Amino acid sequence: MVDHNSTGMTESEEMYLVWIARIIEAGLQGPVPISQLAEQMQIQPVSVNQMVHKLETLGFVQYTPYQGVQLTTQGTKYAQEILHRRRLWEVFLVEHLHLPLEEADELACRMEHIFPTEALSRLDDFLGHPTRSPGDKRIPRTKEPGLDQGAFALETLELGCQGEVVTLDLDHTTRTFLKAEGLLPGIKIKVLARGGNGGMLVSTDSGNKLNLASELARNIWIRDPHR
């Protein structure tokens, strides 16, 4: 994980890396043209060009004349860490403070640069290690959800067995619905029945019963409750 307090990068420099990463995330193949980056950031191309050359000197990007800019391995890691921070804050602000997505995104953009890594780790734990933001963007992680906690997919849990929910690797809408039904990280669930199509009926330790389609059961991560 990148220690943002020790890199010496400015907020402006970090935002360039984030915008390049977001443009690539949207599906662009190859280098990001300077003109496109300038348009997205609403900054004059000459200023973007100057910053790109500075970031290249720092080792975060590689610039190819007449083609555009690409993130280096170091730049990609740094940008993904910032997006990890931003999207965790989006989850908190939308799901727990019930702010509109646009307002949450603006606030998260400020918070991503200043929150200490240790405190962010606690926020991640509190949120149940979400994998998607309210805008349905992937929250970058160095590992698949739950792997560092000995987790496995709910769909593999045998009939009559119980597990503790670690994370819901689902979109914001589905995750919010399931949480409202009592299925959220930290609770225990038991498999009551299994269907031929891979779906299952489960109960929570609070007494709720839910029918889960196979796609949901495949993306809910659990662990042994006695671990």
Q: What is the model's pLDDT at position 1?
A: 46
- Asked if 151 and 170 sit in the same domain, the reply is yes
- Asked if 162 and 134 sit in the same domain, the reply is no
Total number of domains in the chain:
2
Amino acid at residue number 129: H
E-strand ranges in 76-214 read: 152-153, 162-168, 188-194, 200-204, 209-212
Q: Which domain holds residue 122?
A: 1-138
- Asked if 155 and 50 sit in the same domain, the reply is no
- Asked if 95 and 205 sit in the same domain, the reply is no
CATH of the domain at 164: 2.30.30.90
Which is more confident, 226 or 6?
Answer: 226
Q: Which residues lie closer than 8 Å to 25 by C-beta, 6 or more apart?
A: 137, 138
Q: What is the model's pLDDT at position 6?
A: 45
Q: What is the pLDDT of residues 187-204, one digit of tens each?
A: 999 999 998 788 999 999
The pTM of the full predicted model, rounded to 2 decimals, is: 0.75
